[in-house]
Amino acid sequence: MKRFFVLTFLMFMATGLVSNGVALAQALTPDALVKSVTDDVLKTVRQDKDIQNGNSQKTIALVQAKVLPSFNFNRMTSLAVGRDWNKATPQQKEQLTNLFRDLLVRTYSNALSSYRDQTVRYKPFTMQPEETDVLVRTEVLQPGGRPIQLDYSLNLVDKGKDGGWKVYDVVVGGVSLVTNYRDTFAQEVRNGGIDGLIQSLADKNRALEKKAQDAQKR
């Protein structure tokens, strides 16, 4: 009987290890992940006349389906909020993360709909096997303009089947999207506490939502 328990225990352990191992093995390397998501999204945008004509709902749906799963918004938000993050309750953290995610998705979607003839060049990428935090560097080539550096920070998130490499920052021409919010967020927290920041983000999202609806009606 005792042997049975030990055996079962070992089997559980083994299945756990195996499934974990499979999940990690199936997860793409960071550069492959960035490339596959980028190529996938750009291919869709190129083929979709609605998105090119500025149908923001459709673009947002695309971003939600194809881009969101590869992003670590929790980490993005905590980095943007900085030290004040520790002052937030779990519930406030969740609110902040959701609101910040909506803001970023909308901004990103609208930038995407202005995508025309750009192509992306992936720079050589190497990493050590034990690394869990990396930078994948790309360059957006646009006709008639200078190339724009577009870099992604990724870290390895180990959470069962949702695990793998996740993007936690996008750096455009040396400007980190996450860091760029720090001053504003710190200022909002100074003025109105965490709830003040939540309120500002909610107001901003509402204003953008309204603007998008007005644009749709026209």
Which residue stretches of the chain are H helix?
2-26, 30-47, 49-52, 56-66, 73-81, 90-113, 177-180, 182-217
Q: How far is the CB of 69 from another protein (least distance, A)?
A: 22
Number of residues that bind another protein (CB under 8 A): 40
Distance CA 40, CA 209 (A): 26
Q: Does 124 interact with another protein (rule: CB under 8 A)?
A: no
Q: Does 202 interact with another protein (rule: CB under 8 A)?
A: no
Residue 109, Cβ neighbours under 10 Å: how many? Answer: 22
To 10 degrees, what angle do helices 73-81 and 90-113 make? 100
Q: How far is the CB of 136 from another protein (least distance, A)?
A: 11
Among 64, 187, 213, 216, binds another protein (CB under 8 A): 187
Tell me how many degrees the CA angle 38-136-155 measures, rounded to the nearest 5.
100
Q: Does 215 interact with another protein (rule: CB under 8 A)?
A: no
- Residues at the interface with another protein (CB under 8 A): 78-79, 82-83, 103-104, 106-107, 110-111, 114, 133, 135, 143-146, 149, 151, 153, 169, 171, 173-176, 178-184, 186-188, 200-201, 204, 208
